[in-house]
Amino acid sequence: MSTNDPDWTFIFKENVDIENFHIKNATIVEDRLVIFSRGKPRGVLEQCCSFLLSFKLIVGADGLVSGLDPNYNYIKLNEIMYAEFLSKPEITKSGDDTILRML
């Protein structure tokens, strides 16, 4: 994905209330954009932590992603978790649970 790709320019206009925010990598899991991130999301005491940030994708009538629901969810991770750039996630299902592993 490039910042010049007109199909994805909407994503660069989204703002979040996360301090010191930076993205390590991202993937799409079913109908969600899941981002392995570092920063200080709302409600976190530490100045910086690792977390999974999840946005619901908005899909248009043509079946293409047209936006993100701005109401994100996050899961704070163990402090030793730190995804390296371009790390490929391994995604599996166990019943209703989705399991995401960073190799």
Residues 4-56 have pLDDT tens digits of 666 666 666 667 788 888 888 888 888 999 888 889 988 888 888 888 889 99
Measured over the CA atoms of residue 61, residue 64, residue 65 and residue 66, the dihedral's sign is negative
Cα(30)–Cα(18) distance, rounded to whole angstroms? Answer: 24
User: pLDDT value at position 14?
Assistant: 67
- Kindly report, residue by residue over 65-87, the tens digit of the pLDDT: 888 888 889 988 877 666 665 56
Token pair of 88 as six digits: 């490929």
User: pLDDT value at position 36?
Assistant: 86
Work out the number of other CB atoms within 10 angstroms of the CB of residue 18: 18
| Residue 32 identity (one-letter amino acid) | R
55 CB-contact burial (10 Å; exposed 0-12 / middle 13-18 / buried 19+): buried
